[in-house]
Structure 1
Amino acid sequence: MGGVTNPLAPLELPPTPQDWTDWLRTRVDHDLAEAARLRDRLRTLGRNAPGGDGSSGTPEQHRNQVLGTWNELYRTLRGISALTNLVVNVHPEAATREVGEEAERRISELYTALGQDELLYRALRQVPTDDVDETTRRMVELELRDFKRAGVDADRATRERLVQLSKELTELGQEFDRRIRDDVRSITIDASRLGGLPQDWIDAHQPDENGQVTITTDYPDLLPFTTFAQDREARLALSTVSLQRGWPDNQATLAAMIERRNERARLLGYPDWADYDAEVKMIGEGEAIAAFIDDVVAKARPAAEADRELLLRRLREDHPDVDTVYNTDASYYTELIRREQHGVDSQHVRSYFSFPQVRDGLLDVTGKLFGMTWTPRPDAPLWHEDVTAYDVDVDGETIGRMYLDLHPRDNKFKHAAQFDLVAGIEGRQLAEGVLVCNLPTGLMEHNQVVTLFHEFGHLVHHLLAGRQRWVRDAGITTEWDFVEAPSQMLEEWAWDAAVLRTFARNAEGEPIPTELVTKMRAASDVAKAWRATVQMFYASLSYYFHHAPQPDLDAQHRELMARYNIADLLPDTHMHTSFGHLHGYSSAYYTYMWSLVIAKDLYSAFDHDDPFDLETARRYRDKVLAPGGSRDAAELVEDFLGRPYTTDAFTAWLAE
């Protein structure tokens, strides 16, 4: 399965996890020193007009010097930024994570200083772009825009305050994430209260000498328990402690992050952070976020109200006096209704999805779709024994390496995400990415299979977009409210019977029946509108916390819950203190639903009767994924679809 020889080699990692601390410290020092050298070279070029003393030759030669040095500077910084971000989130050694956090602060300070460096701005501004290719012209224009957004033309006092704000925001974000990552809570209940849970889950949770079982808030415990446990009191207890993670300390940290973001935005001439952040996204302005949230909620609310009545009726069959429906109730009763009304038993469904088969099937499916091969590299140095490495080829050419870190452990990132490791630059370095999840090693829920397809979509995007000239365009560097669209579209293949039957087999080796997948698809519509309103509630938190923050974020949380969410608020919970997207996505959580609108339209171009419609898949690969950030997202979509994207497919899906 190996590809053709490629002179570029993957990043050489330390041989054992214990070797990472000193290696990372040395690597950071080296790369930051190299970045400083390249910065100084650009400053020299910025001081000298083309053809003058200190510059080299013609304007064209000067331009090549500036852009070449510029690319190398940001290649170096992006590489060390990606490496330290990965280390902080996945490395098992506390000392190594601490080195990574300190490095993140140093890197952030340098990025801030570069964004305000007038000589760098001058060097780039004097580059002529009237006779360059469109990709280069666009890159220069966007970099100049980012200088403005960093405050390069602000007065000295403002620039100094922006530097301080950037430093504080880095530290606050690290605090916020660290508490979420480290705050694993649990409940302890009698083993007799495990009724309804899968037998393999029960077998993995043996009672202690007192007959008690401890259940944690980590996903492999939390998700099956809230989906299958018949004991409502226990489900609510586990959900409550899960929604208390980060409380109370992260409340103050979050408030401080929001305050400093908004101060930064106002210093730069924007009304608030949401408006500042939206400027560089497809949506364009903060007010459009509010309008989008309201529009989706208006479309979904009638059906969501019907979903609530459906759930409440079934809930009252077990608990006649109940008037509230919590999200954790929805998890359990959605599953129950699917089983009772659609004949879909998720415990039966999961018998077809053992982790090794799902992983291998995912690689086979995506490899066939996109012309990719994945060659295992058992000799690759890794940061943990659970991690696996693969070399990646496309149509016979080696384009990079991927790492799969898919199972939970202490002090690891608690959700699911694709992390960059190396940005692919044509002729300079291979793309490398890391998929980080918290999946069971045994049987998987089908929704976990969907999650794995989703996150792998990000990894495929990063790898395929790794043959760019400019580091700014490499990998997933489109507008941030588009980045979820390719991964959401890949979820469709996790619902196709023909696809699933290639790898979903039970212990007897029997493939999942097509009729069962048909029922699963029908059952997936149960409470679909409810789930849409929940997502838009999350988006409202993300937006309004930044657009109009209240002194008491807890009170604002309750107010937005009542306004947007169909679910009732579980007492004594503070979901926002463990809502990690409030750091990474800040005011832009709306992007998940925005991207879903585009994903539904992208999928409309495929032959739904042929999941291996390779002609369309390869065209999609080349027109949407491979260009990375070299063109605006709307242009990529229009080039693929042959028309501008519309909301028609999304609206039809929501109404189904």
Structure 2
Amino acid sequence: MFKEFKIDHLDTFPQKLETLLDRQRAKIDEITKNSETSYEKILKPMQDMDEELGLFFTPLSHLNSVMNSDETQKAYESSIPLLSKFSSEIAQNEALFHKLEKIRAEDEEAKTVVRNEVRDFVLSGAKLPKDKKKRMEEINLHLSELSNSFSQNLLNATNVYELIIEDPKDVQGMPQTDIDAATEKLEGKTIYKFTLQIPSYMAYMTYGPNREYRKELYKAYNTRAPENAEVIDQILALKQEKARLLGFENYAKYALETRDANTEEEVLGFLDTLADAALPQAKEELEELKAYAKKTDGIDDLASYDVGYYSEKLKKEKFDFDDTMTKPYFEQEKVLNGMLDIVSELFDVTFKTANVPTWHACVKPFDIYENGELSGRIYFDLEARKEKRGGAWMNDWETHFTDSKGMPHLASAFVVCNFSPKIENAPSLLRHDDVVTLFHEMGHAIHHLFGKCHERAVSGINGVAWDVVEFPSQFLENFAYEAAILKRFGFHYETGEPISGELMRKIKETKNFQAALGILRQVEFSLFDFKLHQKLYQGEKVQALLDSIRDRTSLLRPPSYNKFQHGFAHIFAGGYAAGYYSYKWAEVLSADAFFECLDEKEGFNKERAKGYKEIILANGGAKEMSELYKEWLGRKPEVNSLIKLYEIA
């Protein structure tokens, strides 16, 4: 039923991929040359091929992210040009495009597939003359290679740095689990090693008492991969050229063709509205932090590398709370099992441990059942390791659909995080922020896994507008702050004592601590990304644009050496170019939906959640999200729900 996760020979993977692609080329050639014009004879087999290719290639791309090695990197880098060439060939296949234009589907899902396919062909250059099609193919190939270079440069720079601390007083006051994770023996002497891996980096930036070491770590993190400056210039130039080839003034206009937002003005107006709402409260939050740092340690020049440290101390003093207080109560295994229980109750499904091959010993696979029948599979890979890229993400693998032979297929997905790994004397323990991250990625996963469409191209997360993709993830993460949810899995890892009502109250109270500063930071990233793609910026002009945005959004100016853009993988190595605003755009939907489904006593309203599952999640990309939302609640989402979520006056 499900594909087994394995790659037999990395050294021959590109050759096997080429063989598969040649087979698909022959099938596409057959489709374009025959006299058939029906949906079932054209787009059904093409979706079968999409699934076949995904099943073959996804394990390598996934492995390259979670078990990175010279072998995976070599195989991946050799495969990217093959895929890019194949993709370009299809996108520029005039005979196929003209066939698609003639298809008249009867089924609503099929109509959406046809409409999207025709649109995507046009956006891929199907109507361009031959010489411009050739250039489009070259651009797409180069962009794929540059994206991988950006990511690899960042990973290499992250892995090469180590901060060695010898004096115990320079880790004094840090959570013991973070100290234990950093402790090593070197020539018989105890040392503390901190890296740019997120768990290690954030541990010292949040709790590390030595200001000079925080400064050193911060500088190392924010000056990583300077070679990415050249990569960025090339990416931006190619994206601008691509947009112009297709008749768009800029890449932002091109990107909006497949988004929920309609115009550049609509996006920028939305971001400006958020900035205006957050600015007054953000100024108050920063002044409070500056005053606290001065009162506590006589700091007159609060710097960027101080913010995490003093914010954590202020939060602890103000609320008598810090994240270390929650960490002993959130043992990774209990949190995972508790979350699965909650999702089971909320959406009427069951998770059972699956005895199947995985890529690492810490990976936990589960089969999903609905009404007693197998409906999906999910893999959790939650602990940080050196060969794994940073961050957290969901990766879809198999898709729920019905193939051209009438055979049903079930969905599967991977949830990947970088939580502190278990050590000799303690299990893997999560900060509450980690719990939120896990819920977030699970929200993405169930969006894919609960899809019920019979057309692959719109099932699960397929065909969903990029700026609403974050809606289901943000929706689910909001529940991770509710006491009725936390008490289900919050037990002290040593004593078994349940998490107290007071601690759960403090988690919720502190949720919006410095929320306005947080919104401004996200608006800064979003404005930078969107404006960066409205015209061509090169060299120092990229930094100048970021600086101009920071004039408004960055109330505490970062040091001049901070080259944030060199690590902005979301837009240069991911799919968020001209789309980082999506996080906030989707959050309007998620906040509104959350308040609809919230029951403060039980944690959730099962009846409302049933509609959310059967309308929003089940329909994937078969309809516009605005249409699905109105079908669910009979109204549009309310922007005020986002303001309410952040408790901004």
User: Do Structure 1 and Structure 2 share a fold, with TM-score over 0.5?
Assistant: yes
Counterpart of 1:462? 448
The equivalent of 2:608 in structure 1 is 616
Q: How far did 1:23 drift?
A: 7.2
The equivalent of 2:626 in structure 1 is: 634
Structure 1 pair 547–81 and aligned structure 2 pair: CA distance change class (3 A):
farther
Is 1:474 the counterpart of 2:459 in the alignment? yes
Of the three residues 581, 585, 588, the one matched with 1:597 is 588
2:194 aligned with 1:215: yes
- TM-score, normalised relative to structure 2: 0.92
**Match of residue 35 from structure 1:** 24
2:484 maps to 1:493: no
Aligned partner of 1:523 in structure 2 is: 510
Matches for 1:168-567 after TM superposition, within 5 Å: 168-184=142-158, 185-192=161-168, 193-207=170-184, 208-209=186-187, 211-246=190-225, 248-326=226-304, 328-378=305-355, 380-426=356-402, 427-441=407-421, 442-465=428-451, 467-477=452-462, 478-506=464-492, 507-548=494-535, 549-552=537-540, 553-567=542-556
In 2, the alpha carbon distance for the partners of 1:456 and 1:89 equals: 19
- Tell me the SS of whatever aligns to 1:368: helix
Aligned to 1:96: 72
Where structure 2 has 5 or more consecutive residues not aligned to the other structure, the ranges are: 422-427
Equivalent residues of 1:81, 1:107 under 8 A apart = no
Superposed CA deviations along residues 513-532 of structure 1, whole A, max 9, x for unmatched, are: 12221122112222110010
- Code of the residue aligned with 2:388 in structure 1: it is K
Amino acid corresponding to residue 167 of structure 2 in structure 1 = A
Q: Give the partner amino acid of 2:458.
A: D
**Residues 501-545 of structure 1: per-residue CA shift (max 9 Å, x gap):** 111111211111122211221122221100100111111221122
Do residues 578 (structure 1) and 556 (structure 2) align? no
CA drift at 1:281: 0.4
Which SS does the other structure have where 2:367 is aligned?
A: strand
* Matches of 1:226 and 1:178, distance apart in 2: 24
TM-score, normalised to structure 1, is 0.91
CA shift at 1:386, angstroms? 2.1
SS in 2 for 1:145: helix
Q: Report the 3-state secondary structure (helix = DSSP H, G, I; strand = E; otherwise coil) of the residue aligned with 1:413.
A: coil
Letter in 1 for 2:164: T
- Aligned partners of 2:53, 2:205: CA distance in 1, in Å? 42
- The AA in structure 1 aligned to 2:237 is E
Determine the C-alpha separation between the residues in 2 that align with 1:114 and 1:234.
52
Q: In the alignment, residue 43 of structure 1 is paired with which amino acid?
A: T
Please name the residue that 1:162 is paired with: 136
Alpha-carbon separation, structure 1, partners of 2:325 and 2:544: 42
- 2:197 partner amino acid: D
**Greater CA drift, 485-494 or 83-92:** 83-92
| Residue-pair matches, total | 626
Residue range with higher mean Cα deviation, 607-616 or 487-496: 607-616
Q: Is the 8 A contact 1:392 1:399 kept in 2?
A: yes
User: d(CA) in 1 for partners of 2:54 and 2:621?
Assistant: 15
| Distance across 2 between alignment mates of 1:21 and 1:451 | 32
- CA distance in 2 between counterparts of 1:521 and 1:557 reads 33
Counterpart-to-counterpart distance in 1, 2:95 and 2:577: 31
Report the Cα distance in structure 2 between the residues aligned to 1:27 and 1:366, rounded to whole angstroms: 39
Task: Say whether the 8 Å CA contact 2:315–2:322 is kept in structure 1.
Answer: yes
Q: Could you tell me which amino acid in structure 1 is paired with residue 204 of structure 2?
A: F
**Which AA in structure 1 matches 2:606?**
L
RMSD: 1.9
Preserved CA contact (<8 Å) 1:376 1:390: yes
Measure, in 2, the Cα distance between the counterparts of 1:147 and 1:274: 18
Q: Hey, what's the Cα distance between the residues in 1 that align with 2:484 and 2:346?
A: 14
Q: CA deviation at 1:97?
A: 3.2
User: 1:644-655 to 2 correspondence within 5 Å?
Assistant: 644-654=636-646, 655=648
Q: Conserved in 2, the CA contact under 8 Å of 1:474 and 1:629?
A: yes
- Alignment correspondent of 2:425: none
How many angstroms does 1:403 deviate by?
Answer: 1.1
Query: What code does the residue aligned with 2:517 have?
Result: W
Query: Displacement, 1:311?
Result: 0.9
Q: What is the letter of the counterpart of residue 455 of structure 2?
A: W
Cα offset, 1:122, TM superposition:
1.3
Q: Deviation of residue 389 (structure 1)?
A: 1.5
CA apart distance, 1:181: 2.2
C-alpha deviation, 1:433, in angstroms: 0.6
- The alpha carbon displacement at 1:11 in A equals 0.7
In structure 1, give the amino acid aligned to 2:603.
P
8 Å CA contact retained: 1:353, 1:443: yes
Q: How does 1:109-128 map to 2 (within 5 A)?
A: 109-128=85-104
Deviation at 1:101, TM superposition (A): 2.7
Cα deviation digits, residues 35-58 of structure 1 (max 9, x gap): 21221122113xx3xxxxxx4xxx
The match for 1:10 is 2
Structure 2 CA distance for aligned equivalents of residues 395 and 620 of structure 1: 18
Match for 2:527: what amino acid?
Answer: S
| Distance (Å, rounded) in 2 between the aligned partners of 1:202 and 1:651 | 38
CA-CA distance at 1:107 after TM superposition: 1.2
Residue type matched to 2:218 in 1? S
What's the offset of the Cα at 1:22? Answer: 5.2
> What SS class does the counterpart of residue 638 from structure 1 fall into?
helix
More deviation, 33-42/77-86 = 77-86
Whether the 8 Å contact between 1:186 and 1:217 is mirrored in structure 2 is yes
Instruction: Summarize the alignment of residues 42-53 of structure 1 with structure 2, pairs less than 5 Å apart.
Output: 42-45=31-34, 48=35
Preserved contact between residue 454 and residue 491 of structure 1 (Cα < 8 Å): yes
CA separation in 1, counterparts of 2:164 and 2:64? Answer: 30
Partner Cα separation in structure 2 for residue 20 and residue 512 of structure 1: 48
- Report how far residue 560 of structure 1 moved: 2.5
SS of the equivalent of 2:533 reads helix
| Percent of matched pairs sharing the same residue | 27
Residue 603 of structure 2: SS of its match in structure 1?
Answer: coil
Shift of 1:78: 3.8
- Alignment partner of 1:516: what SS? helix
Distance in 2 of aligned mates of 1:91 and 1:98 = 13
Please give the per-residue CA displacement for 1:598-619, whole angstroms capped at 9, x wherever unaligned.
1111112124323142222122
Q: Which amino acid in structure 1 is aligned with residue 635 of structure 2?
A: R
Pick the aligned partner of 1:66 from 2, 20, 42. 42
Moved more, 204-213 or 579-588: 204-213
CA contact (8 A) 2:393 2:415 kept: yes
| Counterpart-to-counterpart distance in 2, 1:494 and 1:456 | 12
Q: Which amino acid aligns with 1:32?
A: L
